[in-house]
Amino acid sequence: MASDLHVIDLLPAYALGCLGEEEAVRVSEHLAHCAACRAELVPYQDTADQLALAAPDAQPPARLKQRLMRRIEPPRAAPVPRPQPGWQQALAGLFRRPSSGWALASLIVIVALGAGNVWLWERASRSGALSAAGSMRVVALAATDAAPGASGKLVISRDGEYGTLVADGLPALDAGHQYQVWLIRAGQPTSGGVFSVGNHGYGVIEILAPEPLGSYPSFSVTVEPSGGSPAPTGAEELAGHL
Per-residue pLDDT averaged across 207-224, rounded? 91
Question: Are 12 and 112 part of one and the same domain?
Answer: no
More confidently predicted of 222 and 110 = 222
pLDDT higher at 145 or 135: 145
> Taking Cα atoms as reference points, which of 185, 186, 188, 181 lies closest to residue 222?
181
Report whether 222 contacts 182 (CB < 8 A).
yes
Q: Which amino acid is at 232?
A: P
Same domain, 16 and 125: no
Q: How many domains does the chain have?
A: 2
pLDDT computed for residue 115 by the predictor: 43
Tell me the mean pLDDT in the region 33-49. Answer: 83
Cα distance between residue 240 and residue 104, in whole Å: 24
131 shares its domain with 193: yes
Contact 131, 137 (CB under 8 A): yes
Task: Give residue 218's domain range.
Answer: 91-241
Residue 72 covered by a domain: no
DSSP 8-state code for residue 135 = T
CA distances from 11 to 4, 25, 191 (A): 13, 12, 89
Bigger pLDDT: 45 or 96?
Answer: 45
Distance, C-alpha 225 to centroid of its chain: 27
End-to-end CA distance of the chain: 111
**pLDDT average, residue stretch 229-236:** 94
Say whether both 17 and 122 belong to one domain: no
| Per-residue pLDDT tens over the stretch 67-123 | 766 666 555 655 555 555 544 444 445 444 444 444 445 555 555 444 444 444 444
